Structure 1
């Protein structure tokens, strides 16, 4: 009889723990995004002159992101960005456009579109995802700080993405 009571008690505790972990993994329908990320171009971009002193480059970047806001949006995710950059060294301006895809430990993906224009905030938008991120949208303002690298030919940046997310129906 004591064994039966002990087994029932253990089963009850296990049920509560399982329910708690499932609830902890669910995401509110909207909330803040506060992400620290790193970006490393792979390989280093090679600008091409396009006339008028301007240069064009295609960038492929390896990404890593961690969400400080405590939700799964861009939390502990690796990613890849493919971007185009148009620079005008004489005007000291750069325009960047492109897309990023991030993946979490479960294989669920986030899709992001970025458009950075001179004299404007650097904006990226999460435009959807797969699995738990299906229907996710977010508007993000991005700031970056170049890092000094001790690896020849490789540049790195660390940055922040701040904004809000929400889920929308995808029918």
Structure 2
């Protein structure tokens, strides 16, 4: 896999501009005094999902071919990544399935469903959810390290990782 370069980050920024508000960055005199330096705090909590990871999901779906995006995405996560992919899928009107372990945090589960994704509870750990995501759905794209479909061509593809990495920086 090729590592992202600065041009990739700039391209991701242009891709995201229509979908996200600028993230405010503020300084606080009391924090500066406590640290002995000028500190600027970037407030990612004001993003639609409350975290910077929304950039990764949006970049992934924005750069997918429309025909493949329309078939849907599947991922496994118990938190911000799940919300990122669910949010992006809603923005692009793509079906989304998120596989979570059976004991996942109920508020995260509800947040993902509120974004329109289907939540499938599988396994007792995140690793078990990852291993069982294949049974949840068979879309063309995944946002995890391994492809959802097991064909020779799929093993050669890197499903979204570089795009997610660029958008999540």
Fold match (TM-score > 0.5): no
TM-score range normalised by the length of the shorter chain: under 0.3
**As a proportion of its length, which structure holds more strand?**
1
| TM-score (norm. length: structure 2) | 0.22
**As a proportion of its length, which structure holds more helix?**
2
Q: Higher RCO, 1 or 2 (CA under 8 Å, sep at least 6)?
A: 2
